[in-house]
Amino acid sequence: MAEASVKPTPLLKDELDIVIPTIRNLDFLEMWRPFFEQYHLIIVQDGDPSKTIKVPEGFDYELYNRNDINRILGPKASCISFKDSACRCFGYMVSKKKYIFTIDDDCFVAKDPSNKDINALEQHIKNLLSPATPHFFNTLYDPYREGADFVRGYPFSLREGVPTAVSHGLWLNIPDYDAPTQLVKPRERNSRYVDAVLTIPKGALFPMCGMNLAFNRELIGPAMYFGLMGDGQPIGRYDDMWAGWCVKVICDHLGWGVKTGLPYIWHSKASNPFVNLKKEYKGIFWQEDLIPFFQSVVLPKDCTTVQKCYVELSKLVKEKLGPIDPYFIKLSESMVTWIEAWDELNPGGPAQK
Amino acid sequence: MAEASVKPTPLLKDELDIVIPTIRNLDFLEMWRPFFEQYHLIIVQDGDPSKTIKVPEGFDYELYNRNDINRILGPKASCISFKDSACRCFGYMVSKKKYIFTIDDDCFVAKDPSNKDINALEQHIKNLLSPATPHFFNTLYDPYREGADFVRGYPFSLREGVPTAVSHGLWLNIPDYDAPTQLVKPRERNSRYVDAVLTIPKGALFPMCGMNLAFNRELIGPAMYFGLMGDGQPIGRYDDMWAGWCVKVICDHLGWGVKTGLPYIWHSKASNPFVNLKKEYKGIFWQEDLIPFFQSVVLPKDCTTVQKCYVELSKLVKEKLGPIDPYFIKLSESMVTWIEAWDELNPGGPAQK
């Protein structure tokens, strides 16, 4: 491995929160007990706040339902989605830790090809603590990994890499397909274990899935807004995508890296494709305009903090996407509300580039 | 797999040449016999032309030594390197086939994790015949592969992909490291089999290694020039890198894709790091300027053929890199000579975008 990461993976137990959005009892945590029990959990309860969510004994957690969100954020609570797992981003906002790992409650521990349980969180920590290489592609993938390095032809000036802001993990069993693909291929399962972590090059966009995701909250937290989805909104299932596109554009601007690949989790159950189609169908049209929009975004040089970048991006959303649908006007306003709420709850001030 | 590739892999035996640069008897072909015997080989003999290179019986081949190159190209033979495996690109020029696979004579058949011999050529053909996806990154890697597809959030308008121009394969055992890394890590071996093929996103550069490489000659052949290396030149071991940077910039401009990943070959022997350092050391400096240069190249819209792109690129090389060293003036002139020679030997005319 390249010199930068020759050290054991720290646990970061005082520096990392696990954020879980849910509407049900968290029995799935039993399987994760050996890996999660020493961490603090932030549970964001979606839907009916009068319902009681059971958390298995022995876990250290705080739980927020809709009443809590309304109480804490007041009128600014409007920026947090309801009846959609996009509500999870409230957990990012109330955390006080440097790192966040977020996972869906239908995701279980996967096995590697040697049949060993995969400690997903440990791999995310490795990914976040080692640099990223967005400025030049390394054909042997992550150069900081044991047994790998930079190959011939990789410029030496780029080998220090850049800070890693995001670690995007993948899914065995049920792949993260859209409704049309689910409908066409109801039986497709992902059984391919690809033993790689790679940095998504600067300038390239990707579909960021929120199912198994970790990030450096101190660096990129204020851009991890999952948008307006679900109840009262014309769209769902684009929360993580929206966040991913915003985050990637801002990471590219500020010189930070986004990694994808390992770790895998076991995604147990496909959501209903008919319900999904209803949530997605406007998004399927809109994304044809969203991608060229995000590909063309150029942030001004004086945007030196994530907050400044994000507010600037919100203006571009209003100006360029507003004409597509009034939803984007509302979304752009919520983006600003989100930043205001973030700064209220996190008064320490933003990380500078 | 996405719909486009639901068919068995054709052999393409009348449409593909295998190009091998060598200075020795080709005993390594014995191991490749089951996979290569039905193909035509183009052997480019480097070094002393009076030496006889033995080719195992049963292979169909043509062999060119330096005298042949000089006879066929006349004064234009100056663009073909001598005493360097960069001479292999002469083989691309004299081929009349649509596809080229080129391999080094110290590369053997690798085994996959189930201990099965890997048919590298078959995988390259799969890669070349299925589309590439340079405009948006797919987190489950090659979406055209069995068991995979485009994930949620991948724009539908981009799912047809674009033609694949290059398939860059990898190496187990001896990794393709530069001399400094070889010196620091003499014992490092690559034992990680990463079961993935991916498209290198538009705008990202990569270090293209010529050891295990296939391409669509009809599309990108005229840009596969391996430059001036070896005898009489101040540099070596940047032949494939140079080609890769030129090719990637032109593929990005013309809308074609470059893939990397599978297949693996078994790279048997590390070359001498001291000799390599001597060949590379100027390149190690120069590449710090070359990468920003290639990252900044913008080809004019009227460059609609590879030839036009390549000649335009040669002008930029002269103008922007010439001031670094007179070598780049000479190289830029050779780039033009190469295109002239290519067009003489391939009078059919260039492929239009």
| Cross-chain residue pair A152–B188, CB shorter than 8 Å | no
| Position B60, amino acid | D
Q: How many beta carbons lie within 10 A of that of residue A191, not counting itself?
A: 9
pLDDT at residue A353 in the model: 45
What contacts B330, CB < 8 A, 6 or more positions away? B228
Report the distance separating Cα B318 and Cα A13, nearest Å: 56
Across chain A, the runs of DSSP E, i.e. the strands, are 16-22, 40-45, 60-64, 99-103, 107-108, 164-173, 197-199, 212-216, 257-267
Contact B201 A196 (CB under 8 A): no
Mutate to test the interface with A, among B144, B151, B190, B208 (most CBs of A within 10 A): B151
pLDDT of residue A350: 61
Q: Rounded to a whole number, what is the distance in Å from the CA of B64 to chain A's nearest CA?
A: 28
Residues in A 115-154 with any Cβ partner in B closer than 8 A: 136-141, 147-154
Q: In the prediction, which pLDDT does B351 show? A: 54
For chain B, the distance separating the N- and C-terminal CA atoms, rounded to the nearest angstrom, is 27
What is the reported pLDDT for B37? Answer: 97
B309, B223 in Cβ contact below 8 A? yes
pLDDT 10s digits, B228-285: 999 999 999 999 999 999 999 999 999 999 999 999 999 998 899 999 999 999 999 9
Do B199 and A139 form a contact (C-beta atoms < 8 A)?
Answer: no
User: Smallest Cβ distance to A176: which of B152, B189, B203?
Assistant: B152
Best to test chain A binding among B139, B156, B237, B264 (most A CBs inside 10 Å): B139
Q: What sign for the dihedral angle of Cα B32, B262, B287, B301?
A: positive
Burial group, residue B52, by CB count within 10 angstroms (0-12, 13-18, 19+): exposed
| Tokens standing for residue B343 | 């067009």
Backbone angles phi and psi of B111, in degrees to 5: -110, 145
Q: Which residue of B has its CA nearest to A288?
A: B155
**Rounded CA separation A282/A235 (Å):** 6
* Residue B221: C-alpha distances to residues A268, B77, B127 (Å): 47, 18, 17
pLDDT for the residue numbered B317: 98
Residues of chain A with C-beta less than 8 angstroms from the C-beta of B113? 113
Q: How does DSSP classify residue A49?
A: T
Per-residue pLDDT of chain B (353 residues; tens, 9 = 90+): 565 555 789 999 999 999 999 999 999 999 999 999 999 999 999 999 999 999 999 999 999 999 999 999 999 999 999 999 999 999 999 999 999 999 999 999 999 999 999 999 999 999 999 999 999 999 999 999 999 999 999 999 999 999 999 999 999 999 999 999 999 999 999 999 999 999 999 999 999 999 999 999 999 999 999 999 999 999 999 999 999 999 999 999 999 999 999 999 999 988 999 999 999 999 999 999 999 999 999 999 999 999 999 999 999 999 999 999 999 999 999 999 999 999 999 997 765 44
Question: CB neighbours of A328 closer than 8 A, spacing ≥ 6?
Answer: A317, A318, A321, A322
Closest CA to B56 of B31, B79, B77, B78: B31
Dist. CA A221–CA A91, nearest whole Å: 11
Alpha-carbon distance B68 to nearest alpha carbon in chain A (angstroms): 31
Task: Compute the nearest-CA separation of B158 from chain A (Å).
Answer: 9
Q: Are strands A212-216 and A164-173 parallel, antiparallel or unpaired?
A: antiparallel
pLDDT of res. B353: 45
Neighbours of B264 (CB within 10 A): 25
B residues 215-274 near A, CB within 8 Å? 237-238, 240-241, 244, 260
Domains of chain A and any CATH numbers: 16-346 (3.90.550)
> Is the Cβ–Cβ distance between A187 and A202 less than 8 Å?
no
pLDDT tens for chain A, 353 residues long, are: 565 555 789 999 999 999 999 999 999 999 999 999 999 999 999 999 999 999 999 999 999 999 999 999 999 999 999 999 999 999 999 999 999 999 999 999 999 999 999 999 999 999 999 999 999 999 999 999 999 999 999 999 999 999 999 999 999 999 999 999 999 999 999 999 999 999 999 999 999 999 999 999 999 999 999 999 999 999 999 999 999 999 999 999 999 999 999 999 999 988 999 999 999 999 999 999 999 999 999 999 999 999 999 999 999 999 999 999 999 999 999 999 999 999 999 997 665 44
- A223 in Cβ contact with A242 (< 8 Å): no
What is the distance in angstroms between the Cα of A347 and the nearest Cα belonging to chain B?
Answer: 34
B114 at interface of A, judged by CB pairs closer than 8 A? no
Tokens in use for B120? 């590298």
How many Cα atoms sit within 13 Å of B280 on the Cβ side? 23
Find, among B173, B189, B195, B207, the residue nearest to B261 by Cα.
B195
Say yes or no for a CB contact (<8 Å) between A185 and B150.
no
Q: Which residues pair with B42 in a beta bridge?
A: B19, B62
Output the six-digit token pair for B76. Answer: 């234009």
